[in-house]
Amino acid sequence: MTPQFSENEKATFYAIVEARKSIRKYRPDLPPRALIEKILEAGMLAPSGKNRQNWRFFVCTGKKRDEYLAYSQKSWAGIKDVLQKRLKPSLYAFTERFFYTLGGAPVVVFCYSHNSEEERYHTSIGSVYMAVENINLAAVAEGLGTCTMGAPFEIKDEVDEFLGLRSHPEYQAGQLELLCSVVMGYPDHDPPKAPRQREGRVTWLD
């Protein structure tokens, strides 16, 4: 039976969706591991093509997270020229600082797709991003913030190596592909909601 939700529950759902925004400044305290696990669990409730559940998450905290900063700084080199043309100088400087520090986020989750001949490539990729958005929303529900980052893709081979994937059987079979990272922690700023455009986004055909 389709579950029925009260008006309050519905309002809470939409409030969480609305409240989600990319957080780029975090408090240093590490969320409890059980909480991170609960949020990832919400991710793994997402739909996936043929129910392959082809997401693979690698969670870095502590020393490993600190070591990743050097890589994040490298990923900036691959992106900065494009951003310099697009962003005003103050936002460019803020973004550069974010890449250098990850805004102090104590958790970095690397999100991979396990690709397979059983499934179309784009379906596999899309399935992982479904889980990523569940993670983003669950984090908001728990009072945490996140920022999804495509930046690690710039240095994907180095990230694979950093995470020690060379010995992973799925990696050895050429089936693991890094898509993004999700940095996570308790927010330490409240940025304005990035504006949304509506024009040309939805076409109705009756």
Ligand X SMILES: Cc1cc2nc3c(=O)[nH]c(=O)nc-3n(C[C@H](O)[C@H](O)[C@H](O)COP(=O)(O)O)c2cc1C
Per DSSP, the three-state class of 14 is helix
Q: In the β-sheet with 176-185, what is the strand arrangement from edge to edge?
A: 55-60, 107-114, 176-185, 145-149
| SS3 letters across 153-197 | HHHHHHHHHHCCHHHCHHHHCCCEEEEEEEEEECECCCCCCCCCC
Taking contact as CB under 6 A, which single stretch among the options 84-92, 110-118, 119-127, 148-156 is the one that binds ligand X? 148-156
Residues 154 to 183 in contact with ligand X, rule: CB under 6 A? 180
Task: Provide, rounded to whole angstroms, the least separation between the CB of residue 180 and ligand X.
Answer: 5
Query: Among 150, 172, 173, 190, which residue interacts with ligand X (rule: CB under 6 A)?
Result: 150
What mask of x and - would describe binding to ligand X in positions 5 to 24, judged by CB under 6 A? ----------------xx--
> Which amino acid, residue 92?
Y
The answer to the question of residue 53 lying near ligand X (CB under 6 A) is: no
Residue type, 123: T
Question: Of the ranges 11-19, 66-74, 109-117, 146-154, which one interacts with ligand X (CB under 6 A)?
Answer: 146-154
What distance lies between CA 42 and its chain's CA centroid?
Answer: 13
Q: Give contact residues for ligand X (rule: CB under 6 A).
A: 21-22, 95, 98, 147-151, 180, 194
